[in-house]
Amino acid sequence: MAEKKFNLQIISPTRVFFDGDIDMVEMKTTEGEIGVLAGHIPLTAILEPGVLRIKKSDGDKEAALHDGFVKITKDKVTILAESCEWPDEIDVNRANEAKTRAERRLKSGEPAVDMLRAELALKKALTRIDIAGKYK
């Protein structure tokens, strides 16, 4: 039996990050982790910062995915992402600085600090650090 493939397209405001046929994709939604194979039921979900895993017969790839939406149909998955980065595109020093800033804001307790924004910045920084650390 031949393996079923489907098209994955990841689009960010600055580029088409990925467009190709794959075996499976895994990502983090607001409801938890989700894995998608060909023939998945139609679904639309909100994405959270996390590691995106792309599984292909010629090897797996991982990327840092930061917020967005996913639209799943029987034979295609489209991700509209705020941003998406391959491990070699991540500046680890900058991610560590962002992590420190976000932690400082969260610990400050100042009423002027947007806690949701600080939490999101921390999630993005931790995702970048995690994925970059696996490949360096």
Q: Which helix (H) or strand (E) holds 92?
A: helix 92-108
- Would you say residue 135 has pLDDT above 80? no
| CATH, residue 48 | 2.60.15.10
pTM surpassing 0.95?
A: no
Q: What is the pLDDT of residues 87-129, one digit of tens each?
A: 999 999 999 999 999 998 888 877 777 888 888 899 999 999 9
| CATH, residue 113 | 1.20.5.440
- Would you say residue 2 has pLDDT above 50? no
Q: What confidence score (pLDDT) does residue 30 get?
A: 94
For residues 77 and 104, membership in a common domain is answered with no
Question: Which among 10, 14, 11, 39 is positioned nearest to 24, based on CA atoms?
Answer: 39
Structure tokens at 123: 């999630």
**pLDDT band, very low/low/confident/very high, at 1 (cuts 50, 70, 90):** very low
